[in-house]
Structures are given as C-alpha cells and as structure tokens.
Amino acid sequence: MPARPRTGAPHAVESEESLAGTVAATATDATPKARGRVDWVDSAKGLCILLVVLGHAITELNNHGYSTGIWDDVNFMLGPIRMPLFFLLSGLFAAKALSESWHRLANRRIWVMVWLYVLWVPLRDLVLALLPGSHVTETGFIAAPRIFDSANWGPLLYNSLHALVEPTSYLWFLWALALFAILTKATRHVPPIVQIAVAAAVNVFAPFAAVSWSWDFVSKMYVFYVLGIYGAPYIFRMVARRPIGFLAASVGAYAAVAGWILLTFPSFNAGNQGFVRLFLSLAGVFAAVNIMAMLQGTPVVKPFEKIGRRTLPVFLMHIPILSMIAIVADQFLDADPGLPWQPVIATAIAAALCLGLYRLILRAGGGWLFKRADWFVRLTTPTSAPATPGPVVAPRTVEAGRGNAVAARRDHEGERR
C-alpha cells in the first residue's frame, strides 16, 4: 500500500517556470539528501513536453496540407504515456503541500495556476484570431484573421469565460493542476489506497466522456497525480535500483498490448479504452521513468534535461508558434515537400522559438506572463497566514519571526533560474 507522505521529507519549492511543479529537492537515491534538481525528472518532463508539441505539430501540419506519414501512428502509440507521465511527475513533489495550511497551499500551488490560466486563455484565443488562414496548395492567404469579423467577437469572449468552468483548449493542464491540488488536500485523511482505487475507477469508466472532452481528460489524469504523491518513495527507490528486468517487462508489456490493439481494432484509439488504457499508461509511464533514470548523465538526455527545466513557456506558446510556422511555410512552398521528418522538424523549431521568445519577453519586462505579477502576489497573499503545520524544510525558507506573509511570498517565487 502506498505510504502517506511524511511531512518532514525533503521537497522542493515550486517554481512557476516549471510547468509540472516538479523542481526537485532530492537526489536520485532512495532517500534523497541533496537539495537541487533531479536530472531524470527534468529529462522526463522534457520528453513529455516535446511529445505534446509533436502531437500538436502533426495536427497543425495536417490542417495546412502537409503529410505526416508514420508520425500519425507514432503519436497515437505514445498517447497513453505523455500526459500521464506529466501528471505523475507533477505529483512526485506535491506531498509536502498536503501538510500545509490552505492559505499556504493556495499561495504556492493554486493561485499560480489561476493566474496563468486566466491570463493565457484569452491571450491564446486573441493571438490565434489574429492569424490569417492559409494552405500549402494555395497562394497567399485563404481567409482573413477571424478578429476582423465582429461576428466572431462574441464567441471569442464566450470561449474565454466558459473556459473558467470547462477548459476549451490545451490549457486544461493548468486548470487540472489547480483542481488536483484542492482535491488531494481535501482528501488527505482518506487512505491512499482508497484514493488511488477511486481515481483508477474514474480513469477506467470515464464518466465524463459523453459530457466534456476536457473534463474527461482531467478526470482520467487524476490517478497519476495521486500515484505521484503517495508512490514517490517507491518510485525513487525503484529508479535507484536501475531495474533492467522491470524495464524490459514494462516495455514488452506495452509493445504487446499496443500491437494487439493495432491488429484487433480499426484504430489505436478504438482499442485504447478502459482497463487497456490504464494498463498501457502505467506500463508506459514506468518504462519512461526508468529509461530516463538509466540514461541520466549521458549526452542522449541532455537536450531533454535542458528543455525540461523550462517547460512552461513551451507549453504556453507552442500552438500559436506552430500555427505561425505553418503559415510562413505556406507562403514559401508551392506544394508539400513530403519530408519524412516534417513533424519532428516542426517540433524542434517550435520549441526553440518558444524558448527564444521567452528570453526576449523576460528582457522586455514581461515576466508577469509566466509568473504572478507582484500586485497579484500581494492580493492573494494573506497578511497573517496561519503557520504551516509540521517542519518547513524547503530551500529558502525564512527564519521564524520574519512573518508568515513574507514566507508565503518566498514560497510563491520558488527557485528562479
């Protein structure tokens, strides 16, 4: 049975630059001692975000008339891994929050996501509405930007408002993280095995599938977040042992079930349902974790580690960037070049542009786009927040007597890198 997280175990302060909140305060041994980043966690996060960008690159290229070849099948095959892995990593270092006061939890984990979500939902809609329509087989632009037609203003506004209760875009991840922080705090006295069992049942039976695609996605991911919280000690011990046999079994099981789906069902998604989906996700997630841990320190995963430390700007900006890449390509190409690696090329370009634009925005004073503005920090930080139960062991904690409001602000800021 997964153990309840210990309040005194080392954990990291959450960084708003780290999308999943998995800035580590532990080393890769079973009992982490050194405070800092865990390289295999960073590389796994980097893999996740690149798989997310790859999936959206395939969709964007198809919409503009570019062939994506075998990458369509690769994208479906990796679908059970990328977001479950992201949420598992998000939960790994969230256990400390369960012992904090509601004030401190909100300041560290909830208001951060609220700020980013409320800011980026309309910003994302506005940027996409400003882009003209184009296609690789057509000359020039085939449609004016939607923002130019006043008939679109109402739907754009409605979409931004409606997204507060039902996410309508890829930004559902931020909405889910805020919700999960609240749910795990509210159910912290429920036995972990019960929480995991209920969350697994929701994943399998998908009660929101016919109601809302975003609620369906969110509800299916909760089991991995809870597994990350309560299974963290076991996961760190597992990767410390470098279990070759377990890795081989995980990869083999994933390949066998995925192959069975491809041979049995008309499409991969048709067979990736219920218990099969949960099994594939678990096998794929633990295989990915062990692979990244075993490759830690090698040149193979260095690029993943670097991007894993800056997942937030890539996540927030990659879809508008991908749209702009496709539009620019349409203006210079008369036909689809049919390159076999087109989605991978688009993914690499988009990730690089996101990180480059991020640096430019920071230099121009736009850091508030990626972390809470100072005025919002003051607004959402209680002037006399109740003390956090249990010892506070995160880096950069303030000394007693400095004031709880100052401590909350320090926690909010995290480790800026």
Q: Is the pLDDT score of 339 beyond 60?
A: yes
Taking each helix axis from N to C end, the angle separating 39-63 and 311-332, rounded to the nearest 10 degrees, works out to 30
pLDDT in tens, 222-259: 999 999 999 999 999 999 988 899 999 999 999 999 99
Q: Is the pLDDT score of 291 beyond 90?
A: yes
Residue 330's DSSP bridge partners are none
Low-confidence winner among 18-32, 88-102, 335-349 (lowest mean pLDDT): 18-32
Q: What is the pLDDT of residue 7?
A: 39
pLDDT in tens, 368-383: 999 999 999 999 887 6
Q: What is the pLDDT of residue 366?
A: 96
194 or 388, which is more confident: 194
CA 343 to chain centre: 20
What is the distance between the alpha carbons of residues 48 and 42, in angstroms, rounded to a whole number?
10
- 251 and 77 Cβ atoms separated by less than 8 Å: no
Q: Is the pLDDT score of 127 beyond 60?
A: yes
Return the sign of the alpha-carbon dihedral for residues 82, 4, 411, 41: negative
Q: What mean pLDDT comes out for the span 50-55?
A: 96
pLDDT more than 90, % of the chain: 77
Q: pLDDT confidence of 25, banded at 50, 70, 90?
A: very low
Q: What is the pLDDT of residue 22?
A: 38
Mean pLDDT of the chain: 86
pLDDT in tens, 164-184: 999 999 999 999 999 999 999
pLDDT in tens, 140-155: 999 999 999 999 999 9
pLDDT more than 70, % of the chain: 83
CA angle 60, 63, 69 (to 5 degrees): 75
Q: Is the pLDDT score of 328 beyond 70?
A: yes
Q: What is the pLDDT of residue 227?
A: 97
Q: What is the pLDDT of residue 406?
A: 42
- 73 and 361 Cβ atoms separated by less than 8 Å: no
- 104 and 411 Cβ atoms separated by less than 8 Å: yes
Q: What is the pLDDT of residue 37?
A: 79
pLDDT in tens, 54-85: 999 999 999 999 999 999 999 999 999 999 99
Q: Is the pLDDT score of 21 beyond 80?
A: no
Q: What six digits make up the tokens of 40? A: 């295999």
What percent of the chain is helix, strand and coil (3-state, nearest 5)? Answer: 65, 0, 35
Q: Is the pLDDT score of 193 beyond 70?
A: yes
Query: Which residue, among 104, 102, 83, has the nearest Cα to 182 in the 3D structure?
Result: 102
Query: Which residue, among 30, 167, 185, has the nearest Cα to 102 in the 3D structure?
Result: 185
Q: What is the pLDDT of residue 36?
A: 58
Q: What is the pLDDT of residue 284?
A: 96
- 357 and 85 Cβ atoms separated by less than 8 Å: no
Q: What is the pLDDT of residue 12?
A: 34
What is the distance between the alpha carbons of residues 227 and 184, in angstroms, rounded to a whole number?
11
What is the distance between the alpha carbons of residues 205 and 17, in angstroms, rounded to a whole number?
34
End-to-end CA gap in the chain: 37
Q: Is the pLDDT score of 386 beyond 70?
A: no
Query: Which residue, among 137, 157, 135, has the nearest Cα to 146 in the 3D structure?
Result: 157
What is the distance between the alpha carbons of residues 68 and 60, in angstroms, rounded to a whole number?
10
What is the distance between the alpha carbons of residues 284 and 286, in angstroms, rounded to a whole number?
6
Q: What mean pLDDT comes out for the span 125-140?
A: 95
Q: What is the pLDDT of residue 162?
A: 95
Q: What mean pLDDT comes out for the span 17-31?
A: 37
pLDDT in tens, 203-220: 999 999 999 999 999 999
